[in-house]
Amino acid sequence: MENSIDSIKNNFLDELNSVRNAQDLESLRIKHLGRKGTIQELYSKLKDADPADRPGLGKEINALRTIIEAELNEAKSRYAVRKSRQKVDLTLPGRTPSVGRKHPLTLVQEEIKKYFSRLGFSVADGPDVETDFFNFAALNFPENHPARAMQDTLFITENILLRTHTSPVQIRTMMEQKPPVRIIAPGRVYRRDTPDASHSPFFHQIEGLFVDKRVSFGHLRAVIQEFARYMFGADIHVRFRPSFFPFTEPSMEYDFNCIFCRGKGCKVCKYTGWIEISGAGMVHPNVFRAVGYDPDVITGYAFGMGVDRIAMLKYNIDDIRLFFENDMRFLSQFN
């Protein structure tokens, strides 16, 4: 029996050295580890051996089986590597690696920051997860305002939510800093919305705030007008329409004349000649009171704009979802 074990081991090693392909290797595996293989025959012969010798013989057979399995697995790995190498055509030219580019939203946001930094605005930041106080209460939103409803705002708890605008950054800044305050607050914002070509539950805003003595609506209008010309050309005009926001009084929405038809009327502007951009206004006295400012001494203006909307207009993009799909065919167009 012992001679048979040694003989099988030696024969297996000799046969393994003569294997030339994966098919030969599989035949060798079946010969020794198959149901009718040599190892199985050794196990069946154990019953004829002396009972006192069976434990020792069983260990030797198990050891031989382990050796054969290990050698076969190693040989199989070598053939797999060799096969994978055969798939590589070394005569082919190498692939040029992709060149990284900034995202179009990043490009537009940096351009907006550049404009306002020239006017003396600094960049302020705040958390994406906010409290009801900073997102609503301090901004003069009444308890029953529709924006507080679950269908509009993504609440985490009754008092914690994902910010719906970057206005909380204005509140945090004013609570930490005495006038004058001149900041822009870029960042991500979140609202409950169904994604489509013009809506997304996740988008980007930049809001601005200028607070000091004798700040007027004329200052606000001049800043927005020059911004429109900076982004879209010298022939762009701005119009303001009366509106309502809890945190500004008076409040207004502002439009740019259509950058595609230059005010003549087209499908993009629905033949009105104007494209709505966002809202603005003079800071409400109640907001100043919430942060400890004296509204009889201090005035200020605030404005907002969607970075995504500006980017869509600037690059003539008709679907906001393209910004978030990470399609390299789309992103590679921007330098």
For the question of whether the overall pTM of this predicted structure is more than 0.95, the answer is no
pLDDT at 37 over 70: yes
Higher pLDDT, 87 or 210: 210
pLDDT in tens, 172-230: 999 999 999 999 999 999 998 888 888 889 999 999 999 999 999 999 999 999 999 99
pLDDT in tens, 90-102: 788 887 877 788 9
- Please report the pLDDT score of residue 181 as a whole number: 96
C-alpha–C-alpha distance, residues 177 and 170, integer Å: 10
Cis peptide before 127 (omega within 30 of 0): no
pLDDT in tens, 284-326: 999 999 999 999 999 999 999 999 999 988 998 888 999 999 8
Cβ pair 164, 223 in contact under 8 A: no
pLDDT in tens, 42-84: 888 888 888 888 888 888 888 888 988 888 888 888 776 665 5
- Please report the pLDDT score of residue 156 as a whole number: 93
Q: Provide the 8-state DSSP code for 163.
A: -
* Residue 317: Cβ within 10 Å count: 16
- Please report the pLDDT score of residue 110 as a whole number: 95
Lowest mean pLDDT among 113-122, 243-252, 285-294, 321-330: 321-330
In the chain, the percentage of residues whose pLDDT exceeds 90 is: 50
C-alpha–C-alpha distance, residues 27 and 19, integer Å: 10
- Please report the pLDDT score of residue 295 as a whole number: 95
Q: Which residues, 6 or more positions from 164, have their beta carbon under 8 angstroms from its beta carbon?
A: 135, 147, 152, 153, 189, 190, 191
Cis peptide before 97 (omega within 30 of 0): no
